Chain A
Amino acid sequence: MALAEHLVEDAIAVGVTASDWRDAVRRSGALLAATGVATDEYTDEMIATVEKLGPYIVLAPGIALAHARPSPAVLRPGLSWIQLAEPVEFGHDKNDPVWLVVALAALDHDGHIALMSSLAAVLGNTPLLAALRDADSPARVLDLLATEGSPS
Chain B
Amino acid sequence: MKIVAVCGMGIGTSVLLKMNIEKVLRELGKDGDVDVEATDIGTARGAARTADLVLTSAELVSEIGDVSTPVVVVDNFTDVSEIAEKLTPFVP
Contacts and interface: CB of A to CB of B under 8 A. Distances in A.
B59 A124 contact: no
A30 interface: no
10 contacts: A53-B60, A54-B60, A59-B57, A65-B13, A69-B11, A104-B11, A109-B15, A123-B16, A124-B79, A124-B80
Interface of B: 7-13, 15-17, 19-20, 38, 40-41, 57-60, 63, 75-80
A94 B41 contact: no
Given A60-B79, A109-B38, A53 B8 contact: yes
Secondary structure call for the A interface: loop
A109 B78 CA distance: 19
Contact of A113 (B9, B10, B15, B63): B15
A61 to B, nearest CB: 6
Identify which of B7, B10, B17, B77 gathers the most chain A CB atoms within 10 Å of its CB: B77
A55 B59 contact: yes
B77 A60 contact: yes
Contacts of A54: 59-60
B76 A57 contact: no
Shortest beta-carbon contacts, A-B, top 3? A54-B59, A59-B77, A56-B59
A49 B8 contact: yes
Given A116-B16, A117-B19, A124 B78 contact: yes
